[in-house]
Amino acid sequence: MPSLEDELFPSTPGKFKIERSNTMNRQFHRCFTSTSTMFLWALFLVALTASYLSFQSFVDSGSRYFSASWGGIQWEKHVRSSAQIHRSGGMSVLVTGAAGFVGTHVSLALKKRGDGVVGLDNFNNYYDPSLKKARKALLNNHGIFVIEGDINDAKLLAKLFDAVAFTHVMHLAAQAGVRYAMQNPHSYVHSNIAGLVTLLEACKSANPQPSIVWASSSSVYGLNENVPFSEADRTDQPASLYAATKKAGEEIAHTYNHIYGLSITGLRFFTVYGPWGRPDMAYFSFTRNILQGKPITVYRGKNHVDLARDFTYIDDIVKGCLGSLDTSGKSTGSGGKKRGPAPYRIFNLGNTSPVTVPKLVNILERHLKVKAKKNVIEMPGNGDVPFTHANISSAQKEFGYRPTTDLQTGLKKFVRWYLSYYGYNRGKRVN
């Protein structure tokens, strides 16, 4: 709002004094009358200016209301239309991080089965935002409205919950990546901790309260050496700041469940890969560099032990996300007050079949029909762990989670998408 920054006497004795006094009275009267007139004009000008500024403010506010990235009559229509349920017993889901890798796939799967879906994403530049914009276009083509906004924006979240009584929240927005935390640690606290708290605050105050499913990470197992990793294992030795923020998120979620009766399910994802994936992931960057004839860096653990990951195909992760939503139970609070106990759950979502990184490279070489130029070096102390391996028995028991895609099959589907998306024909890029 622009702010406003904000002009009379001697005497002598005797006869002349009376005459002069009369003269001075007349002069004073004229001066006073003139000053009063000027004062009135000044008041008039001030009032006119204030009226103009108030009108301009009204116009500006109205303009913002109709043209802002969120808010306004048309915006609310889009939100409500996108959230509309088209199946019996369906749900209305707010998906945060909807233009992200997992968020896009989960949103499409929910919409396909008739659920209402509204997306939220801040389109940050951690990796190429054009890929996120392309995912958004894909979602738009399927009738999913994606709002550009941040989960730390409490007013935006309040507006969304005011517009739609969401039954569920699928919280996938986060600052991802283990190594990037060494470059930009504050972004992890901003998104993974502050953002989570802002979202949970909105959910606890909503009426009715939604059930929440959110993405934790297999990284919380940190330096754990029990194999396979089980939800009952210790998670108090994180190896990276990313892992520490996800572990903190689990504790924060438990607090909101305990105090406010929010139904909360945390999902520990194990190395998700597939079409529309993240460019910072090894399988993605390996593919790019192999096709461009550039060397790839392959890390080894201590004593020349190959690193291994429990690579999990995106379709299997989506099945786990939907299964978690379907069995999440109800939140029990109302207006920020708990009425009774609500479910609090944590599940591993993995493939249960770890594969070494060299084997991953070999599979990519076969699908790309190009030999990789490899630089094999010892793993630096950057927060990575030597292996991951998921015990998925809890998810199997609770909602029938069973991964069906092996790495050979999953990478074949990824490579097919990659070549098509980036314009390659028989291994050569078409300009």
pLDDT attached to residue 431: 56
pTM metric for this prediction? 0.83
pLDDT tens column, 196-228: 999 999 999 999 999 999 999 999 999 888 999
336 or 138: which leads in pLDDT: 138
49 or 229: which leads in pLDDT: 229
pLDDT attached to residue 28: 41
pLDDT attached to residue 127: 93
Nearest to 357 by CA among 423, 285, 274: 285
pLDDT attached to residue 178: 87
Q: What is the CA radius of gyration of the chain?
A: 31
Nearest to 107 by CA among 152, 160, 151, 143: 143
Beta bridge partners of 146: 119
The arithmetic mean of pLDDT across residues 342-353, rounded, is 97
pLDDT tens column, 43-102: 454 444 444 444 443 434 343 333 346 789 999 999 999 999 999 999 999 999 999 999
pLDDT attached to residue 254: 98
Rounded Cα–Cα distance for residues 263 and 203 (Å): 10
pLDDT tens column, 238-295: 999 999 999 999 999 999 999 999 999 999 999 999 999 999 999 999 999 999 999 9
Rounded Cα–Cα distance for residues 400 and 324 (Å): 10
Q: Quote the percentage of the chain above a pLDDT of 70.
A: 82
pLDDT tens column, 3-34: 333 333 333 333 333 344 444 444 444 444 45
pLDDT attached to residue 135: 98
pLDDT attached to residue 382: 58
pLDDT attached to residue 383: 58
Burial class from Cβ neighbours inside 10 Å (0-12, 13-18, 19+) for residue 192 reads buried
The 3-state DSSP class for residue 169 equals strand
As a whole number, the mean pLDDT across the chain is: 86
pLDDT attached to residue 378: 87
The 3-state DSSP class for residue 302 equals helix
Statement: residue 419 has pLDDT above 60? yes
Catalytic residues: 242
